[in-house]
Amino acid sequence: MDDTGGKTYKAKFIVLILCFFAAVLVSVVVGRFSVSLKDMFLILKAFFIKTGVPEWTPGADNVFLKIRLPRIAASLLVGAALSTAGCVYQGMFRNPMVSPDILGASTGAGFGAALAILSGAGYFGISISSFCFGLAAVMLAYAVSRLSRANETVAMILAGMIISSLFSAGTSFIKLVADTQEQLPAITYWLMGSLSSIKIKDVKFIVWPILAGMIPLLLLRWRLNLLTVEEESAVAMGINTRLLRMIVVICATLLTAASVSVSGMIGWVGLVIPHFCRMIFGYDYRRLIPAAILFGGTFLLIVDDAARLITTGELPLGILTSFIGAPLFLYLLITGGRRHA
């Protein structure tokens, strides 16, 4: 029976990997400027082998290398990071309603971005400010929780709510005093989430903190199962739960802060995708983390394709993920409730 179950999971992963690569290829092709798969392979061949005369459609290399490829990479990284952060937080807090911004990383990052826009910083300066304030928000929440005498998990959640509220109030104040002609629209659009301005340097900026957060979680994914059981049981197995929680918080914070620093506030990805992964791959984090990485990246890439194709302009990602995520979560809530009954 175990062998049959293992084959089933392998088949599911193969299907998910095929969907992942299919979404990447479709994302290369679709757009207002068409880049065929033939052009893509010729451009990549010329890039790596340094061939002579260009054989692709004029302009296709600029669209593919400077616009489409960075955006695809950013979508995959951000989607994978948010879904993984939501997945490990839901397990650590033993609460299916937890999302990556539970400790204030997203609101802190939003405040940092709004402050940078108010100060007249450039796009890269906004990303750096957003990333730093996202980290600072979680550090403050963790420090406050350590001062509390309440249960450690409950204290962290409450501290996260307090810090989130403070940074949210700060963002509202910045919007109040911002210039209504340029700064306020820029802050509002950034907070709705978008990947329309992504450049290759933004991908280089986020790839390292995302890898720094993702790799430890992948290596420790078998231990993450122990955070979902009672504290006494985990301690009896010789697990230092406090240290493991700290590692999870640090890694999830890096994932969330790095994502929000370039994409803005994108909701529902870290809340809904882990539920779908559990439905398909079960509750074992040895399978759940890799599934969340593939599923989250594929989902956000598809949503980003829709954002740039639905209208002549471009819809913010936060709006689309809400339109898609809320009905999906409602479906999960209803079907899960019926199954439980």
Confidence of residue 153 (pLDDT cuts 50, 70, 90): confident
What is the percent of the chain with per-residue pLDDT over 90, rounded to a whole number?
59
Number of domains in the chain: 1
92-120 per-position pLDDT tens digit: 888 888 899 999 999 999 999 999 999 99
Judge residue 65's burial from the number of C-beta atoms within 10 Å of its C-beta, 0-12 exposed, 13-18 middle, 19 or more buried.
middle
| Spatial contact of 114 and 96, defined as CB atoms under 8 Å apart | no
pLDDT of residue 5: 61
Evaluate if residue 224 carries a pLDDT over 70: yes
Radius of gyration over every alpha carbon of the chain, rounded to an integer in angstroms: 21
Between 147 and 231, the more confident residue is 147
Instruction: Identify the CA nearest to 307 among candidates 299, 317, 296, 295.
Output: 317
Could you give the CA distance from residue 87 to residue 255 in angstroms, rounded to a whole number? 12
Domain that holds residue 93: 2-340
**What digits encode the pLDDT tens for the residues 313-328?**
788 898 899 888 888 8
pLDDT value of residue 3: 55
The average pLDDT across 154-179 equals 94
Query: What pLDDT sits at residue 340?
Result: 43
pLDDT tens per residue, range 256-273: 999 999 999 998 999 999
Q: How confident is the model at residue 53 (pLDDT cuts 50, 70, 90)?
A: low
What is the pLDDT averaged over residues 203-230?
Answer: 90
Q: Which range has the worst mean pLDDT, 79-83, 133-137, 276-280, 335-339?
A: 335-339
User: For 28-45, how does the pLDDT look when each residue is reduced to its tens digit (9 = 90+)?
Assistant: 998 888 788 888 888 888
Inform me whether the pLDDT recorded for 292 exceeds 90: yes
- Write down the mean pLDDT value for the chain: 88
Q: What is the pLDDT of residue 172?
A: 96
* CATH number, position 132: 1.10.3470.10
178 touches 184 (CB < 8 A): yes
What pTM does this model have? Answer: 0.92
pLDDT given for residue 139 in this prediction: 94
161: its two tokens: 């709510």
Q: What is the pLDDT of residue 49?
A: 78
What is the average per-residue pLDDT within 115-132? 93
Residue 296 pLDDT grade (very low, low, confident, very high; cuts 50, 70, 90) = very high
pLDDT at 94: 84
Residue 150: pLDDT over 80: no
Q: Closest by alpha carbon to 87, among 219, 297, 252, 301?
A: 252
